[in-house]
Amino acid sequence: MTHQRLSRLLWLTALVLLLAGCSTAPSPTPPAVPASPAASEEGLPSLPDGRRYIVDPAASHLRIILGAEGPLAALGHPHVIGGPVIDGTVVVADRWQDSAFRLEVPVAELTVDRAAWRAVEGLEPDVPESAISATRQNMLGESQLDAASHPLIRLSSLEITGPEWQPDVRFRVTIAGEASVHTVPIALDRDDSELTATGVLRMRFSELGLVPYSALGGGLRVADELRIRFQVKAFTDESP
């Protein structure tokens, strides 16, 4: 298997599951509920009345860490994908559980294997530019994220439960025309002008009933565990 092919398989498997399948290892969450292909946002209610926060993409962060495993794992290498790519709106209602959000990630702005990201994750910072370019080109191609036809990943809240400082959020994600429903806990800090939602997710393919891709008799395979870090920062219109 070529390095380019492995990078493509690692990337696609990770991105589809991690933004579309947020669940945590410490406490099991209900399995994702599949929705029909090409689902739209039309079935969602309007955002509620309340204090409106606008996401600042430059201050928000997404990091996806994935790797290869097996006796021949040295033929591949871990990837870190993400960037300041989260945009959208969060509304905090008078009744906390009625709060809601609509978020978007423009797939063409996702970045692969920045040296600084890899270094802080304890990985070798330098990856050949040819490998990065090939991975990103495949990632955006028609057979994967199909950025030309589906330029945005959309995330829309459906239900919020739990305390305001650490709510459980049930949400729908639509990626490359496919939609599914998931639940994720977040840590939340806010005041009248600023809101920050942060989380670290660990997810296993096996927890979702999936078998990670393998090759060469299982000697080279996609690592079962994915790690996702995110920080969403948003401000009200009255913020300085």
Query: With 60 as the cut, is the pLDDT of residue 58 above it?
Result: yes
Distance between CA atoms of 72 and 92, rounded to whole angstroms?
A: 49
Write the burial class of residue 237 (CB in 10 Å: 0-12 exposed, 13-18 middle, 19+ buried): exposed
Query: With 90 as the cut, is the pLDDT of residue 181 above it?
Result: no
Query: With 70 as the cut, is the pLDDT of residue 38 above it?
Result: no
Pick the residue with more confidence: 43 or 157? Answer: 157
Mean pLDDT computed over every residue of the chain: 76
pTM of the shown model: 0.72
The CATH number of 3-235, from 3.20.20.70, 3.40.50.620, 3.40.50.300, 2.40.128.110, is 2.40.128.110
How many other C-beta atoms lie within 10 A of the C-beta of residue 112? 22
pLDDT at 71: 76
The DSSP 8-state label assigned to residue 236 in this structure reads -
pLDDT confidence tier of residue 117, bands split at 50, 70 and 90: very high
pLDDT at 222: 59
Write the burial class of residue 158 (CB in 10 Å: 0-12 exposed, 13-18 middle, 19+ buried): middle
3-state SS class at 67: coil
